[in-house]
Every structure is written in C-alpha cells, then in structure tokens.
Structure 1
Amino acid sequence: MVQGTSSWAGKSLMTTAICRHLARKGLRVAPFKAQNMSNNARVVNGGEIGVAQYLQAIAARTEPDVRMNPILVKPEGMTRSQVVVLGKPDQAVSALPWRDRAPHLWPAVIASLRALLAEYEVVVLEGAGSPAEINLMDCDLTNIRAATQADASVLLVADIDRGGAFAHLYGTWGLLPDEARRRLKGFILNKFRGDPALLVPAPERLTAMTGIPVVGVVPYFEHHLPDEDGAATPISDGTPATVVAVIRYPFASNLDEFKALEQVALLRWARSAVDLEGARLLVLPGSKHVASDLAWLRSVGLDSAVAAKARVGVRVLGVCGGLQMLGQRLHDPYRVDGAGDGLALLAVETTFEREKLTRRATIRFASGLPVPWSELSNRAVNGYEIRHGRTVAKGATRMAATDGLGWIEGPVLGLTVHGVLESPEILIALFGRAPAYSLDATIDRLTDVVMRNIDARFIEELVGCA
C-alpha cells in the first residue's frame, strides 16, 4: 500500500508506477482506493470512479472497474458532497454528516477489496490524505483500516519539494498506532530537486530513529499525467502555440480531460476576463454544481466576457455542465442542482433529473458544420457522459452531433460528451498538431523514472515476486 504524509505527496503517481512495474513482470495487478475525493471521474464498467484509479488500472493493464474505487466523494460545496457508491450516487449517504457515513460505506469497501484480492495476484492499495490525521481515525476507511483488512505492507511518501519532508515522515510515523507502524516498511522522498548527496545524513538518521529505511528518492519531473483532483499549472515547452483558455470555476469537474491539450496548445486556466485575452478557443468545462458555478461566472464578469468573445467569432466550447451554462435556462424540479437563466449563447434548455446518466458514448459530428468548427464535420469520437442534466433544443438551434449529444450556433459549440479533446484526430483537426506521446507511453515514462529511483527489488520482495 502507498500512503502519503499529505495530499499531493505523490501517492497516486507512485501507485501508478508500481502497478505498471509489476504488470511488466507478468503479474495480474489491480489498483484499489477505498475512498477518493475528486470531481475528476471516468466512466467504467458499473458506473464512475476517480480518474486516478482509472489510470492505475490502465497502468496495471487491466480493465477499470468500480470495485477499484468503491467510494467516490464529489464535492458540491464547502460542506456538501455527492457520495458515489460502487459507481452510482447514493442520496441517503450523501445527506449524512461525514462521521456518520463510514458504517454505511464500509460493506462496499470490504466486499470490493476481498473480491479483488481473490481475483488478482497483487492488489496495490492507495491511501488518502495522511494516515496520521488523528481527528479522522475513528471514521477512516482508506488508510489504516484498508491496510489492515488487506494485510498490506505500507510505503510512506513525502513531498520534499514543499520542505519539511523528514519532519513529515517522522511525525507521521510517531502518530501512527502501533499496529499501523508495524506495517510501515519504507519511506519515499518524492519531487527532489538537486544533488541527492545533499540529503546525507538525514535518511540514515531517520532510519536510526524509526527503524524504517528510505527506499527511494524520486526526482522532480514533469510526468504529463492528468491530476487526481483539480488540475496543476499547465505545462508548456515554450513553443509558440494556439492559446486555449479553460474557465476554472470553483466546482469545475473532469479537468483531467484537457491534459492532452498541453502537447498541442498553450493551455491557460481562466479565472477572470483578463485570462481570456489572446485565446483562440474558450472552454467551459464540466461542473459538479452548475447553478453555483454559473453564479460565480457572473460575479467575476466572465459571462459578458465570453459572450463578447463569441460575438467577434472566437470559438467557445461548452462540455456537459459548460453546455448547460451556455443554454437559455436551467430547470431543477427535484432540487438536484439549481434553476436559473443561462448565458443564452445556445438555444437549448436543461432539466436536472434525479437519476445521474453515466455511460460511455460515441459522438458523431454532423456533416457540413459551419466555420469555425467545420474541421469536425463527419468525425466520430469515443467519450463518456456523467450528468444529471438532460438538454433539449429550443427553437432553431442546429444539431452538431447525432443523438442529441451536441448543438452549434456560429462559433459556439456545446457537447454533452467528455473526452473529445483527448482524441488525437480531433486535436490534429483543430490545432494542426498531434500529441507527441500517448497515455500508455506517458505511463511508461513515469514508471521508468520512478523505478530507476526507488529500490525496485525491495518492492518486489514486499509482494513476493523478487
């Protein structure tokens, strides 16, 4: 099991690399994270899971499945979240206070973990946050409790780039209960910049104080994988490129789907009207709370800024919740999200239904699409849908895709389907450039870097394959 001293320490990346390393050894491997908190999700067999476990399953060369992330918590406000259990929203559990949820969720966690342990030779577990969050140990599902249930050996990762990594490792070790401390087998320092010789004698002293060896020092590098939650600062190689501004409202979701854009365009997260300047494409991404994010757009002046750009012919793309914002009206008869007026850039209206639609989908663009979207005409792209909203045309708006999956008015295009901008064919059509490397190649590059810098044999011995 890979645990961390904090969020963003590198747990997900280490887990991904270990999954691919063991899969290269010919083992049948599966990832597992009991509970993940993220608005970045993917559709798999049975429903939706966090994007990190989706990527880890690909790294393990196995089919992603809801048991690999049985509990997904999707924030909808500062104190409100939707709880997805085995791929489907559970309204009853979502309504409970945080500490009251664990007894209702543990049966799904334990059943999923036991099933994976029975089906695979190795299950690589990932923790959440820190196992030493002593205020939450009584309702923990993902760290100590999952490790105990799986009888897992634990690696603890710290982000040394933040500073204080040795204190983080020692403090975490010191706060762990005795049983959890016995499971801890190795420390990993992640995101190190500079000469590893400068670390001496700290690793040796830490080992002397804890009895736990430092088994890896992984350098800081651009891994090019999507982030587990939210999105990091976009990567640019400095090559002149088309600017794409993705509006990052407070509850933006599925931002991971824009990672491939970094290879063909200059990606910019937009939080104000100024951030739209110079952009040739504006994107309104998905949203976990459309009405709230739409109100935020108006509060910062991005509603009028987007409309002004559309009037002068700048391409505007709305995806899922972004499409719903571009329409004329939001209806919410079941109090799922919120009602109100949209931006009225597309003649469509959206009604939020009780049941969430979660499915893989193929979007087929219509023939003869007008400029500036004509390059998409007659193309087909595989993607996925995760939405409560059902959008329908009102008036003479033009269908951009078959089966009610998209609409277009001039430079404004709205799609219900996520993942279109991950397609190399679409990126070539829109930007004239193909991504330099595939997702699988990116996972291989990550694995090569990580496994060169940690004790691979130590890892193999932990799982019994050395």
Structure 2
Amino acid sequence: MSARCVMVLGTTSGAGKSWLTTALCRHYARMGLKVAPFKAQNMSNNARVVAPSLHRSRGSQPPEAADFPGGGPAESHWAGGEIGSAQYFQALAARAEPDVRMNPLLLKPEADTRSQVVLMGQVDEALSRMPWRGRSLRVWPQVAAALDALREENDVVVIEGAGSPAEINLHASDIVNMRVALHAQARCLLVTDIDRGGAFAHLYGTWALLPPEERALIHGFVLNKFRGDASLLVPAPQQLRELTGVPTVAVLPMWWQHGLPEEDGVFDDRTRASGSVHTTIAVIAYPRISNLDEFQPLKNVPGVRLLWARTPADCAGADWIVLPGSKATAADLAWLRSQGLDRAIAAHAARGAPVLGVCGGLQMLGEALIDTHGIDGNAPGLGLLPLVTQFDPQKTVRRTQSRFGDLAGAWAALSRVEATGYEIHHGQTLPHAAMAAAGDVAQGALPDGLGWCNAQGNVLGVYLHGLFEDPRVLHALFGATAPTLDTVFDGLADFLAQHVEPGLLDQLIAP
C-alpha cells in the first residue's frame, strides 16, 4: 500500500494548520480509511509521550480517544518517546496509535537561540549543538523514512507543514514543507488567517514565491477565521484564481470554542464559556512555559475561567494559582521573581487558597533547585514545599498511572482518585533532609515521588502532566465532565465538511 497524501500548508504560523489537519484526520477516519498524521518537524514545548514505534496491522481494532483518558495507554509506568502535542491529538483524531514516526523531529526551545532536539522521540545532544542548515541535511533521511513507513501502512497520510513554505531564506534547507510535499506528491491546501488582514496578499505572495513544480501541488486556498458577510469577499477569490489557477475551496468562519487544545500559543480569554463563573484559575505564563495544552479541559468545564497571569494584578481574585511546566525552570523562576509573582503566590498560599505546581511548577515550589550537571541551573525555590530538586542528565519520559493518597484541605477532593498522565522531566524531587529532621515534612500526595502536598493541604505539586485530561480528576474537583476528545474531533470534521466545497475532500485522495 502507498497512502494518498494530503498536506496542509499555511501562509504564516497560527493560520490554522494544526486544527485543519486534525479535522481532516477525523474526516478520513470516519470514511473507514486507515489514516495517520505526519509533521516532519515541529517546534513546540508542548509534547506528549508515545511509544517509540508501534505498528498496527491492517484490520486490527483502532483505539478510540476514550481509551486514553490521560493521553495514552494506562500501564503503570509506560516508557516511550516524545512528539509534539498537535500530532498526538491528530493521531487520536485519526483513530491511530500515536507513534514517534508521526513527528520524527521535535525542537523544544530552551532559550531564544537554543533548542533541545528530539529525533525519533529521543533527545539527541549532538544535533542540539549542530547549526540548523547542517542539521537539516543530517536528519532528512530519517524524516523521509518515517513518512515512507507511514505511507506503506495507511490509506491516507495527512501532513502538516510548519510556518510558511515560502520562507526563501530557509527554502534550500527545508525538510518540513515543500520538500516533504514533493517527496510524497501530496495534494496541498494553503490556509491563511483572514482575521489578521492581508489574506489574499499572503496567499498570492506565498504561491508566487514557490517554484513551478511546487506551485503545481497546491490544490486549493482556504480562508480561515472569517467574520462577517461572505459576499464581501467577491471578486477576490475569482481574481486570485485567474492569477494563480488555484480555487478558494473553503471559507471557514471564526470559531472560538472548538475545544481542541492549543499548541502554539496561549488560550484566548474570549474562548471561555458564557454563564456564571464559580472558579477562576490563574496560570502563571512564564516565558518558557510548556505543555500548556493540558489545561484545555478546564476551559471546557462550565463555570471555570482560565486566565494567564504575568503580573501580581493578574492573580488578584483568582481562586487557584497554577504553576505549569517549564522548559527552563531556573530561568522562568527568576522571571517570576522579577515580576513580583513570588510574593503574590506566597500571599495566595498564606490565605489557604489552592496552589498547584505541575512538573517544573512542582520544582519551583520547593526550597531549592540543585544542578551539578549544567542541565537547567541552580536557584532558590519559592519555599512553599519542604522539597529539594536535584537535576540529572537522564530525562524521564514515560506514561504513568497513579492514585492520590488521603489528602486534607483544599485538595481533599482528590483523595484516593486514580489518575493517568505522563512525565517529561529532568531530575528528581525529594524531601529537604534538614527540614524533615526538624519535623517539616511534605505529605506524599502521589507515590514514588510523583506528588507532594504541604501540611495545610492547599499547596500541591505533581510531576504528572495531563491531570485534567482524566475525567475522574475533573469529576472529583468540579463534579462535572468536559466534552470528550472524540466529541471535539467529530465537531471539527463536521465543521470542515459544512464549509468546504462539495466533493473536494474526496478529490484530494482520489487516484
């Protein structure tokens, strides 16, 4: 078998490639086809843990998204590799087993000029030190091999590009846009965000900068995030077709509440559900925040409002404060202090109000970060939990299922609740020996050093990402459920089918 390949390109980052790719995955899966997503290279600090390489035989029962309450299989400790969150969700939308081949290269920014390189799910220190242009030549054979393997096993591969395919300064070293499209002879859609303005110039300019053999692969333009009267678009789509020969095949209305987790940006407060708010949750938005997509289920709970906190004023009136994951814990902790957020968090905790730290956030809540290997940096912690984190070169990457112990105070609702999630972190966190000897001991909220709580019961730190993706946790905390991922994926596919030119989606995979 050699799969038909459909590719989603964008005029810019944030144009809508990821959600459109996800919608296409679910659309073709609902046709009974065997579907896989693919993105050659993703740059994101939002990552998921998947199997290093799984092969599902044709005709075997595909997994449902409901089978992954926290984001993956539920073995107690399930080791694997990392891929970008967008490809993880696209795999679930395709009813496929998430696999490192679906995102063979993942770049995780650690600073403005440095990224950790993850190749086929594993950190590659040599590639991380290599200049970009040399790196792209080095990894292309593995990228191509991953795509070829997926094509052999599936009927359809839905490919996502990155940024813009017309970045002429990067075109010669491209391994994620048109080089992939040519390799797969993919039928491409080019999507643009019309809400930003300049959409037709973006579409035409992108098309015009491509060489003829690459232009020939573009089968349709897509206008995304449109607001207003569609008749006002006339005569631009027709003029654009006369200039390029490419039809505008869809005008997708603005849709704030589709429910798909964000990948490349913070969530927008306009997406919160209407109605009365009973819980406001402030998530500290440090510069190197990671895994922000795991908070999407909270946005979908009626009466819960999420907001990003970058100043103490943003925390005022919040019921919870959450310290999320970080790709640069010590640097983000320094930023947090420079904003005065350390004092705001301490005052919030002193009132007995709930504070939650996830992964890097857990590490920040302790007394100290100790780095003898040059992994992240040494730093004093916030001192809200009597813990010390020792960074280690070995990176923990695994799926985990665990159960909370008996908790008191603000987090008592989590007592004895089972939770499935994933770990991606350097180092381990343990009680501060001198403080423990003096009687100041953190309570083990989760076994095996996965979670700790203070004596008062209002400051909780966990290494378990994906906590709120587990319906058992949501129900325990709020007595509510959020829409399932399957519901979200079906909604995306329905929305796309409603607004695309009739027959186009079939034409894209026709022989």
- TM norm structure 1: 0.97
1:36 aligns with 2:74: no
- Output the amino acid matched with 1:364: R
Instruction: Give the match for residue 250 of structure 1.
Output: 287
After TM superposition, the structure 1 = structure 2 runs for residues 355-370 of structure 1, keeping only pairs within 5 Å, are 355-367=394-406, 369-370=407-408
- TM-fit CA distance, 1:12: 0.8
After TM superposition, the structure 1 = structure 2 runs for residues 194-343 of structure 1, keeping only pairs within 5 Å, are 194-222=228-256, 223-234=258-269, 235-241=271-277, 242-264=279-301, 265-343=304-382
Secondary structure of the corresponding residue to residue 17 of structure 1: helix
Between the aligned partners of 2:104 and 2:273, the Cα distance in structure 1 is 38
Whether the 8 Å contact between 1:361 and 1:383 is mirrored in structure 2 is yes
Instruction: Give the match for residue 20 of structure 1.
Output: 26
Instruction: Give the match for residue 401 of structure 1.
Output: 446
Between the aligned partners of 1:199 and 1:231, the Cα distance in structure 2 is 30
Secondary structure of the corresponding residue to residue 414 of structure 1: strand
Secondary structure of the corresponding residue to residue 64 of structure 1: coil
After TM superposition, the structure 1 = structure 2 runs for residues 50-449 of structure 1, keeping only pairs within 5 Å, are 50-222=84-256, 223-234=258-269, 235-241=271-277, 242-264=279-301, 265-367=304-406, 369-394=407-432, 395=436, 396-409=441-454, 410=456, 411-435=458-482, 437-449=483-495
- TM-fit CA distance, 1:320: 0.3
Whether the 8 Å contact between 2:326 and 2:332 is mirrored in structure 1 is yes
Whether the 8 Å contact between 1:34 and 1:68 is mirrored in structure 2 is yes
- TM-fit CA distance, 1:232: 2.4
Secondary structure of the corresponding residue to residue 55 of structure 1: helix
Between the aligned partners of 1:11 and 1:169, the Cα distance in structure 2 is 14
Between the aligned partners of 1:240 and 1:279, the Cα distance in structure 2 is 15
Between the aligned partners of 1:225 and 1:174, the Cα distance in structure 2 is 32
- TM-fit CA distance, 1:434: 2.3
Between 1:334-343 and 1:232-241, the stretch displaced more is: 232-241
Between the aligned partners of 1:14 and 1:287, the Cα distance in structure 2 is 28
Between the aligned partners of 1:277 and 1:351, the Cα distance in structure 2 is 32
Between the aligned partners of 1:363 and 1:233, the Cα distance in structure 2 is 32
- TM-fit CA distance, 1:456: 4.9
Q: Percent identity?
A: 56
Instruction: Give the match for residue 452 of structure 1.
Output: 498
Whether the 8 Å contact between 2:14 and 2:264 is mirrored in structure 1 is no
Between the aligned partners of 1:455 and 1:402, the Cα distance in structure 2 is 53
Whether the 8 Å contact between 1:42 and 1:50 is mirrored in structure 2 is yes
Secondary structure of the corresponding residue to residue 245 of structure 1: strand
**Structure 1 unaligned residues grouped into runs of 5+:** none
Between 1:343-352 and 1:291-300, the stretch displaced more is: 343-352
Between the aligned partners of 1:455 and 1:24, the Cα distance in structure 2 is 18
Cα offsets for 1:41-99 (capped at 9, x unmatched): 11111211111101111111111101000001111111111111111111111112222
Between the aligned partners of 2:102 and 2:169, the Cα distance in structure 1 is 26
Between the aligned partners of 2:91 and 2:396, the Cα distance in structure 1 is 23
Whether the 8 Å contact between 2:394 and 2:427 is mirrored in structure 1 is no
- TM-fit CA distance, 1:438: 1.0
Greater RCO between the two (CA within 8 Å, min separation 6)?
A: 2
Between the aligned partners of 1:236 and 1:110, the Cα distance in structure 2 is 40
Between the aligned partners of 2:402 and 2:334, the Cα distance in structure 1 is 29
Between the aligned partners of 1:81 and 1:115, the Cα distance in structure 2 is 27
Whether the 8 Å contact between 2:357 and 2:460 is mirrored in structure 1 is yes
Between the aligned partners of 2:463 and 2:490, the Cα distance in structure 1 is 31
Cα offsets for 1:12-53 (capped at 9, x unmatched): 111111111111111101000000001111111121111110
- Output the amino acid matched with 2:268: T
How many aligned residue pairs are there? 463
Instruction: Give the match for residue 10 of structure 1.
Output: 16
Whether the 8 Å contact between 2:417 and 2:476 is mirrored in structure 1 is no
Whether the 8 Å contact between 2:29 and 2:95 is mirrored in structure 1 is yes
- TM norm structure 2: 0.89
Secondary structure of the corresponding residue to residue 491 of structure 2: helix
CA RMSD of aligned residues (A): 1.1
Between the aligned partners of 2:369 and 2:128, the Cα distance in structure 1 is 23
Secondary structure of the corresponding residue to residue 242 of structure 2: helix
- Output the amino acid matched with 1:275: D
Whether the 8 Å contact between 1:71 and 1:84 is mirrored in structure 2 is yes
- TM-fit CA distance, 1:216: 0.8
Whether the 8 Å contact between 1:230 and 1:253 is mirrored in structure 2 is no
Between the aligned partners of 2:316 and 2:479, the Cα distance in structure 1 is 22
Whether the 8 Å contact between 1:327 and 1:344 is mirrored in structure 2 is yes
Between the aligned partners of 1:361 and 1:289, the Cα distance in structure 2 is 23
